[in-house]
Amino acid sequence: MYLTIKTIHMTCALISFTGFLLRSYLMVIESHWLNQKWVLIAPHVIDSIFLLSGATMAFMVNFGLFNQFWLTSKLALLMFYLFFVGMALNRGRTKAIRIGSFFCALLTFGYIVGIAVHKTPLSWFS
């Protein structure tokens, strides 16, 4: 059961990140596709499944506040990632801010993946 939920979680993470890259590209080229209803709704559905599967796995491994520090680190960095994604896609006032936020989101996502792989807050530096 755990491996099934983990597979769902990892698949949703990949789809979510790929969607972010696609929406960022559409934002840079100022495409009308960004206003399509499915482009606005799909990320929320995918991210909901992503977060629900992550929460389910956390409870399966008996996650308590600060019991698994690497998991707490992932959750904290997720908040930064969401902030940068929001700035990159629609809250950044200028295109320069949006592009800078895009790269910050990429770095944050990469660091989160490193934490997940190595099970330590040191991520790829362990």
Helix axes 2-28, 37-60, angle to 10 degrees: 150
pLDDT tier for residue 88 given thresholds of 50, 70 and 90: very high
Alpha-carbon span 81 to 108, nearest angstrom: 6
Question: Taking the model in full, what pTM does it have?
Answer: 0.86
> Could you tell me if 102 and 91 are in contact, meaning their C-beta atoms sit under 8 angstroms apart?
no
d(CA 40, CA 50): 17
pLDDT at 65: 62
Each residue of 102-118: pLDDT tens digit?
A: 999 999 999 999 999 99
98 pLDDT higher than 80: yes
The model's pLDDT over 26-72, given as tens digits with 9 standing for 90+, comes to: 988 988 888 889 988 999 999 999 999 988 988 888 776 677 788 88
Is the pLDDT reported for residue 119 higher than 80? Answer: yes
* Two structure tokens written together for 18: 């790929």
Q: What are the boundaries of each domain within the chain?
A: 2-125
Q: What is the pLDDT of residues 12-23, one digit of tens each?
A: 999 999 999 999
Residue 71: exposed, middle, or buried by beta-carbon count in 10 A (0-12, 13-18, 19+)?
buried
